[in-house]
């Protein structure tokens, strides 16, 4: 039995569901299970009293509109979605607003959208228009592969033209269903293209015109110094899945990647869990190509991780 210590970070992410209304080819979700709205509310209240930041996430939170009450409980004024339910039922926009939602983070993939799921850019453009009509901010979430990394700057221009308030780039992460994809991972040239162009976009647009963000999955900047990146997985934040497993971040919510346990709702980490924060922990796990890591602190795995650093 592994020794435990109390989690002392300030952020808890509650994964509401693994259920989704689209089978995206690049989906990295590795857990299963769906909470009831009542269960989610109970946990939202419990952890909000104990941690500074509690957030709600899931494969597609809008599969159950009952989850929205928990967003109010934790004070979360944004939601992530693939946009499909809003496209089919635009009347739920009013429900989003009454639930305190001000910003919608929506999946939108330039150049590769149709190859990843059945939601077309034309459908999403309609969703953007309807959200803006209701005075909601829209931030596009875009996956970067070796197919579109070189187009990062032009993607930002298009996002601005579409009326988005921001764009957040996420690196393709070869986990979950995405393991079936081949030849889409980034190499050093792709990283350099991405970081060079995202800097150019940030110089063109001020934050009030278009907020240009990138996720921690890209790790350290390969072009520009200084690199201030520090991975927060399992240190500053944890994710709790519907089966009450504890993971470091949403990218590695998969059996075998646990960093701790839940005991009477309280969060504990394994004492031998180690994250030096120098690189995205999820990327380390994915780059290792190991399907099921039973112990993140296994000496052999630690040696491999150090080689990546």
Q: What is the pLDDT of residues 11-28, one digit of tens each?
A: 999 999 988 867 665 556
> What is the model's pLDDT at position 26?
53
Q: Higher model confidence: residue 265 or residue 293? A: 265
Mean pLDDT of 176-200: 79
What is the model's pTM? 0.86
- Please check the confidence at residue 296 and state whether its pLDDT lies above 50: no
> What is the model's pLDDT at position 140?
97
Mean pLDDT of 66-79: 98
Mean pLDDT, rounded, of the chain: 86
Separation CA 6–CA 224 (nearest Å): 37
- Please check the confidence at residue 7 and state whether its pLDDT lies above 70: yes
- Please check the confidence at residue 292 and state whether its pLDDT lies above 50: no
């Amino acid at each position: 039995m592994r020794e435990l210590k109390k989690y002392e970070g300030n952020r808890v992410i509650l994964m509401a569901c693994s259920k989704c209304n689209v089978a995206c080819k690049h989906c990295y979700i590795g857990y299963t299970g769906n909470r009831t709205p009542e269960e989610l509310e109970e946990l939202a209240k419990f952890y909000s009293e104990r941690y500074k930041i509690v957030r709600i996430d899931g494969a597609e939170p809008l599969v159950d509109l009952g989850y929205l009450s928990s967003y109010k409980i934790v004070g979360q004024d944004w939601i992530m979605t693939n946009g499909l339910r809003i496209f089919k039922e635009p009347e739920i926009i009013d429900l989003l607003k009454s639930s305190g939602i001000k910003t919608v983070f929506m999946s939108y993939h330039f150049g590769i959208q149709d190859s990843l799921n059945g939601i077309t850019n034309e459908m999403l453009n309609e969703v953007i228009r309807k959200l803006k009509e209701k005075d909601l901010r829209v931030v596009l979430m875009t996956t970067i592969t070796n197919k579109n990394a070189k187009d990062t700057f032009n993607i930002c221009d298009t996002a601005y033209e579409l009326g988005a308030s921001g764009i957040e780039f996420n690196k393709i992460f070869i986990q979950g269903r995405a393991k079936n994809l081949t030849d889409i991972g980034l190499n050093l040239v792709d990283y350099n293209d991405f970081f060079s162009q995202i800097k150019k976009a940030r110089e063109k647009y001020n934050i009030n015109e278009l907020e240009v963000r990138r996720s921690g999955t890209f790790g350290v900047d390969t072009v520009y110094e200084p690199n201030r990146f520090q991975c927060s997985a399992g240190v500053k934040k944890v994710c709790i899945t519907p089966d009450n497993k504890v993971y470091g971040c949403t990218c590695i919510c998969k059996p075998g990647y646990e960093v701790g346990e839940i005991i009477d709702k309280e969060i504990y980490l394994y004492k031998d869990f180690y994250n030096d924060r120098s690189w995205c922990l999820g990327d380390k796990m994915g780059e290792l190509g190991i399907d099921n890591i039973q112990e993140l602190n296994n000496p052999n795995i630690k040696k491999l991780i150090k080689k990546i650093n």
